[in-house]
Chain A
Amino acid sequence: TQLLEQSPQFLSIQEGENLTVYCNSSSVFSSLQWYRQEPGEGPVLLVTVVTGGEVKKLKRLTFQFGDARKDSSLHITAAQPGDTGLYLCAGGDTNAGKSTFGDGTTLTVKP
């Protein structure tokens, strides 16, 4: 069974601060996705990374896939209240045909 450990579980910061969320595993994934979910809604895909060492930027968000494709990080620069939500990482397993989800990071950005 593949496991994804996500940290921190909860994060509360002030507007303008930077933060990093980590997603770690002992397993290799064919791809890794980051999602953001707001209460009462489904997760929304932010990014997919597939190549070891890959870095993708989405405005103030920077995503990195580890060289060994076992871990990933999400860095947010100058966080805004609109960034508040549950962030989920998910590792793709081609053999199993499904994804493994991390436990999630609940981010609160205070104005």
Chain B
Amino acid sequence: GAVVSQHPSRVICKSGTSVKIECRSLDFQATTMFWYRQFPKQSLMLMATSNEGSKATYEQGVEKDKFLINHASLTLSTLTVTSAHPEDSSFYICSASITDRNQPQHFGDGTRLSIL
């Protein structure tokens, strides 16, 4: 089955630090990748849709200058949380899909971000 690798799995850093999270599709080409944020015992909140070779589409209320997304190839998308603050602490999850009708999303294992 389709495998998506997300790295790192956990980050603990000081306030003001910028953190980069990578999302890779290992055995398929992902024309579209999605970035989600998840709070404990809650569902996924879509932050942005990342399309290879074009600018990401951000959901309402998500600051594009705060959460920088780069989708440089068909197998890699990165999310950079710039100048992170404690309120940015959360579980961030990426997913990837082949742009085709009814193709499901395949998720990475998530990144637990803790800002001190």
Whether A98 contacts B46 in the complex (CB less than 8 A), given A30-B102, A42-B6, comes out as yes
Q: Could you list which residues of chain A lie within 8 angstroms of chain B, going by C-beta atoms?
A: 6, 30-31, 33, 35, 40-45, 48, 50, 86, 88, 90, 92, 94, 97-99, 101-104, 106
Q: Are B108 and A42 in contact (CB under 8 A)?
A: yes
Q: A40-B110, A43-B44 in contact; A90/B6 too (CB < 8 A)? A: no
Q: Report B22-39 residues with CB < 8 Å from chain A CB.
A: 32, 34
Closest to B1 in A: A45
Given A40-B112, A41-B110, A104 and B104 contact (CB-CB distance below 8 Å): no
Residue of B nearest to A10 (CB): B41
Q: State the interface size on chain B (CB cutoff 8 A).
A: 25
A selection of 28 A-B contacts at a CB cut-off of 8 Å is A30-B101, A31-B101, A33-B104, A33-B105, A35-B107, A40-B91, A42-B4, A42-B6, A42-B93, A42-B108, A42-B109, A43-B44, A43-B93, A43-B107, A44-B107, A45-B1, A45-B105, A45-B106, A45-B107, A48-B102, A50-B102, A88-B43, A92-B102, A94-B101, A94-B102, A98-B34, A102-B43, A104-B41
A97, B49: Cα distance in complex, Å: 9
